[in-house]
A = this chain, B = another copy of it.
Amino acid sequence: MDKKVIVTISREYGSGGRIIGSKVAEKLGIPFYDRKIIELSAEKSGLAVSFVENTEQKIKNKFLHNLAFGGYYMGADLGAAQLSLSDRLFIATCEIIRNLAEEGPCVIVGRCADYVLKKRDDVIDIFIYSDLEHKTKRAISEYGIDPDKAAAEVQKTDKYRANHYNYYTEQTWGDKNNYHLCLNSGFLGVDNTVDIIVDTVKDYIKNKQA
């Protein structure tokens, strides 16, 4: 790609957003960031990967968040004294995302990247959603979730993601006004969703060059 564009993909659990992002990156020939951001955030914040993974999107609600992290100070480090572990992690993630965007075109899945990169003018923000039935089927077939618990797991995970996003961005997760395209992957299918995003990116670059 001649011109630079960063694609952020926010996605409901079981919507196939991760694989869609990965395929988009492959088709465009640009880096794909998902789990790697967790590793980089852990490194940057000095926290263990397992803590980052568990904490990242699992702030059940603001009350619990405050209860769990609000009173936890970072000891003698005055600069971080008022920051919870979770806040430190979020700040580290933001910095990593901003650096990745600075480096070159890429696809970033999750991590409030649409919000973190809001001030840039070379970002396309996508939200991938689906109906509960499709998401549940995918949770069972792709992630091996117990069929009896899959629908509940989908709803719980989406609630985690919403709470995390809403808490840190003060925007509403999944509100179409935060994104340029919202695509129902249950209806469109993974491959058509990928094609729409790839075509949109190509059109965007073409228009930028025109």
Q: Is A21 an interface residue (CB 8 A)?
A: no
A176 to B192, CA, bound (A): 18
Mark interface residues in A173-192 (1 if CB within 8 Å of B CB, else 0): 01011011111100111001
List of B residues within 8 angstroms of A187 by Cβ: 124, 180
B184→A179 contact, CB < 8 A: yes
B180→A188 contact, CB < 8 A: yes
B181→A184 contact, CB < 8 A: yes
Among B124, B177, B183, B203, point to the contact of A129 (Cβ < 8 A).
B177
> How many copies of this chain does one complex carry?
2
Q: A182-B182, A183-B181, A195-B199 are in contact. Are A189 and B207 (CB under 8 A)?
A: yes
Write 30 A-B pairs (CB below 8 A) sorted by A numbering.
A129-B176, A129-B177, A131-B177, A174-B176, A176-B176, A176-B182, A176-B184, A179-B182, A179-B184, A180-B184, A180-B187, A180-B188, A181-B181, A181-B182, A181-B183, A181-B184, A181-B188, A181-B196, A182-B183, A188-B200, A188-B203, A189-B207, A192-B200, A192-B203, A192-B204, A192-B207, A195-B199, A196-B196, A196-B200, A199-B199
Residues of A within 8 A of B (CB): 124, 127, 129, 131, 174, 176-177, 179-184, 187-189, 192, 195-196, 199-200, 203-204, 207
